[in-house]
Structure 1
Amino acid sequence: MTESFVGIPTEPIGSIPRPAELLSAMAAHADGRIGDDELATAQDDAVRDTVRRLEEIGSPVVTDGEQSKPSFATYPLAGLDHLAPDGAVIPFADGHQRQLPRLTAGPLRYGVHADRYLRAARRHATVPVKQAVIAPSALSLLYPADGIDGYPREAFLDDLTAEAEADIRGCLDAGAHVVQLDFTEARLSLKLDPSGGLLEQFITLNNRVLERFSAAEQARIGVHTCPGGDQDSTHSLDVDYVALLPGLLRLKAGAFYVQLASEQEPDKVLGVLADHLPGHARVFIGVTDPIDPRVETPEQVRDRVLTAARYLPLDRLGTCDDCGFSPFADDTSTSRDTAFAKIRARIEGTSLAARELAG
């Protein structure tokens, strides 16, 4: 780690494309050709390789690459009963869809907590490890519009709040550098409800969880927003970002990870960030676009950072990737090597900008 990152920290968002060996093991496990132990070995090998490669290219903070998650959104549901497959549908611009399950009975309990992934990554890491968790607002979509007999929505939200708190707290207690709430449904909510009512519900729910943490703990919690990159497409890039950011920045978090590299009007977005960023928070701007097949140069990244520095003070500025590279396990649209090349460009470009800004 070089001294440049003292002024401008840089962090990955989370997911990294899985190696071919892990994808093969996942398919074999799904078909019953290998057992749980063999799958777990393949997952741990992939985590070890991910951490190693991130450290080799100089990443001052690493993640497990979400190698063992079925998706960034559904990991807490692994092994749970009382789920039907016909839940909320998320449409993407290229026509493909993702569908959440639907809760059919209560109470809601997480089947897996994210500290499991954090502990696995920390066994292999020599630098700080961050952990991504799903925002409770995303899991609130599991509850059906027509309700559940004997399990009212308010009881569901009480359970969800408690489980989301436990998910975050478990990671903080296990030594996470930062816990990142993935709030990709934020921008989508404005597409589903342009009035902003759904977004306000999401923010209220997320703050209901975040307010359970002390100021010192909130300083180690961040929130990520993006237009939902998946299979080289997005679900809400056409939604005006400016309508989202003032509400998003009301969340009780110490860091905000904001997609920016793929935005058409970055200066407009930076102006809103500068006007609304809370006094205690740092904003990490996206400087690489995971769904663009072209690998950014360090110089392109440098220039994006220098632009951001015209709006944001250096002690409030960081860099990140716009989004995870493979948030769903079956997304092979971006190669593993391309992802690491983009991450290297982010690290090197951030360092270039920091040196230039230091004079």
Structure 2
Amino acid sequence: MMESSSQHAYEPAVSFDGGDLDCGNGLLLLIRKHIDPLERGQLLEIQSTETSVESDLPAWCRMTGNELVSWTKDGKRRSFLVSKGAFASGAMRAGPIDEALEREARQRASIQIVPVAIPASLPAPSPAPSIRPLSVMGIGSWPRPRWMLQALHDHIEGRLDDAAFQASADDAVQLAIAAQLRAGVDVVTDGEQRRDSYASFVGGLLDNCQLIPLTDLLPYVDDPQAFEQELRALDVPAADVRHPAVFGPLGRSQPLAVHEMNYVRSLTALPVKVALPGPYLLTRTMWMECVSDRAYSSREALAADVVRILREELAALLAQGATLVQFDEPVLSEVVFSGTTSQRSFMCGALSEKSDPQSELAFARSLLNAVVDGFPIDRVAVHMCRGNWTADESKAMTGDYRPLVDTLAALHVGTLFLELCTPRAGEMALLKGLPDWQRIGVGLCNQKHAHVEPLDEVLRRAERAIGLFGKERVLFNPDCGFATFADAPVSGAQIAEAKLRTLAEAAAILRERHGV
């Protein structure tokens, strides 16, 4: 920690008083809301009376790439001057606080609990195009253009208004859809172009929830130094990946993905699949002591609201004509396969509490089945994999489906989209005992690999699946999405399109061969 100064040598652009909040109990949420809208190099003043901030704030600055410029102490009151990003002294000397900017930041940064509205009833599903056997589709995500990544960051940090962001996203979705159509898919997704990741985007849309960078979690873990080392070891831009922080009862006053689906349906008549984070994933992600326990007495209480919100969204999606809604539950693999701490950290929930595997699997089953209860079974699905934040296979989890078959069979969903191409997933035959009413979306290409799988190799794997499950139950897909995390795509758009094209070519051959 640097020595305190008698006064700051530079004027901040924005200042706020954090009172006696510590970094693990709300102060970081306020810091994040104030600093995000600033331009890089601008200064934020944080006033505090909490002693622990003296040690925690420098660690936070180091982890997030911001810079502590100076700090002062007058009795119990402390003032910290933090630069967003690296500090450039020549550009920052002078000028009083911009009162208009300060007033706008104060309004934006106040954490206010939003009343939660619960609908009296849910809409009924509308008819939608069906999905024929041996259909080809992506799992969900598609690589974003560089300009779309910039728009995502600017929108999250308050520098790009919603209208401008949605216009950019519409353009990116058009490109993603066009690539899928060229490849010859039977079912389309919007490529998750509006999302910073497959799951955390929900935190930016729900009432009483806020997105914070993964690096902001430092004060919430038992061993900050070890966690810092873990983040450095991960092959992922941790400072760019956002994590939801709950500060009040969760509500859904705006849709999570209905607007995404409606835009896709305006572009094509093909069946549309929409992916949503599953209830177990969201609960494990959102339940963090010192954050969520101020809003919920237990993880189970939080889960009840997560289930309600996902049921509301599922009903709205099906009512608007989504053919299939897929719930992503990759953390099921973390439950049974977790090994090193760095693996657990980035499976999007391992920072939260977790009991023994059987109890966790039972909890996950109960949550998912509660979400889909009463909805058409053929229009709900689950996807799981073993980690998709890096193209390096050695950094993802390994283990066959043996400890998961009973759980998958007990899920009340009509389709399972499964990772099966990578050797890390084990032998496909272990899934032979799944119920006959469950379709199997078979991973026929590895999205992590830069090369495109040869057609004869894809055909052999597809024939193996047809022999095990029957032609009526089989669908074709990659092992996972091509860009699960916006800033860490595992494939480029050209490779993604070529892989899907090979799957479509294989499907055409197999339909003719098997009379489908």
TM-score bracket for this pair, using the shorter chain length? 0.7 to 0.9
CA distance in 2, matches of 1:150, 1:23: 32
Matched pairs, number: 348
The Cα shift of 1:301 comes to 1.2
| Residues 1:252 and 1:328: Cα distance change in structure 2 (over 3 Å) | same
The Cα shift of 1:77 comes to 1.1
Correspondence for 2:281 among 116, 119, 138: 138
Correspondence for 1:106 among 248, 258, 264: 248
| Residues 1:10 and 1:30: Cα distance change in structure 2 (over 3 Å) | closer
2:256 corresponds to 1:256: no
| Residues 1:354 and 1:93: Cα distance change in structure 2 (over 3 Å) | farther
Structure 1 residue identity aligned to 2:326: Q
Map residues 164-203 of structure 1 onto 2, 5 A cutoff: 164-192=310-338, 195-203=357-365
Aligned partner of residue 11 in structure 1, secondary structure: coil
Give identity over the alignment, percent: 25
The answer as to whether partners of 1:297 and 1:349 remain within 8 angstroms in 2 is: no
2:120 corresponds to 1:120: no
Aligned partner of residue 328 in structure 1, secondary structure: coil
CA distance in 2, matches of 1:179, 1:65: 14
CA distance in 1, matches of 2:327, 2:506: 26
Question: Which residue is 2:193 aligned to?
Answer: 67
Aligned partner of residue 108 in structure 1, secondary structure: strand
Structure 2 residue identity aligned to 1:148: D
The answer as to whether partners of 2:248 and 2:294 remain within 8 angstroms in 1 is: no
The answer as to whether partners of 1:188 and 1:236 remain within 8 angstroms in 2 is: no
For 1:321-354, what per-residue CA distance to the aligned partner results, in whole angstroms no more than 9, with x for missing partners?
A: 1100001111244211111111111111122233
The answer as to whether partners of 2:265 and 2:272 remain within 8 angstroms in 1 is: yes
CA distance in 1, matches of 2:390, 2:328: 18
Cα RMSD (Å): 2.8
Larger Rg: 2
The Cα shift of 1:316 comes to 1.2
Question: Which residue is 1:54 aligned to?
Answer: 180
Correspondence for 1:271 among 401, 426, 429: 429
CA distance in 2, matches of 1:113, 1:82: 13
2:169 corresponds to 1:26: no
| Residues 1:175 and 1:31: Cα distance change in structure 2 (over 3 Å) | closer
| Residues 1:145 and 1:331: Cα distance change in structure 2 (over 3 Å) | same
Aligned partner of residue 293 in structure 2, secondary structure: coil
Structure 2 residue identity aligned to 1:204: S
CA distance in 2, matches of 1:353, 1:208: 37
CA distance in 2, matches of 1:224, 1:331: 20
The answer as to whether partners of 1:102 and 1:143 remain within 8 angstroms in 2 is: no
The answer as to whether partners of 2:417 and 2:442 remain within 8 angstroms in 1 is: yes
The Cα shift of 1:236 comes to 4.7
Correspondence for 2:389 among 230, 235, 242: 230
2:234 corresponds to 1:95: yes
Aligned partner of residue 10 in structure 1, secondary structure: coil
| Residues 1:104 and 1:225: Cα distance change in structure 2 (over 3 Å) | closer
The Cα shift of 1:105 comes to 3.2
For 1:64-98, what per-residue CA distance to the aligned partner results, in whole angstroms no more than 9, with x for missing partners?
A: 00011111101221155454642798x79973466
Question: Which residue is 1:206 aligned to?
Answer: 368
The Cα shift of 1:126 comes to 2.5
Gaps of 5+ in 2: 1-130, 222-226, 339-354
The answer as to whether partners of 1:11 and 1:60 remain within 8 angstroms in 2 is: yes
CA distance in 1, matches of 2:371, 2:132: 30
| Residues 1:18 and 1:31: Cα distance change in structure 2 (over 3 Å) | same
TM-score calculated relative to the size of structure 1: 0.87
Map residues 311-322 of structure 1 onto 2, 5 A cutoff: 311-322=468-479
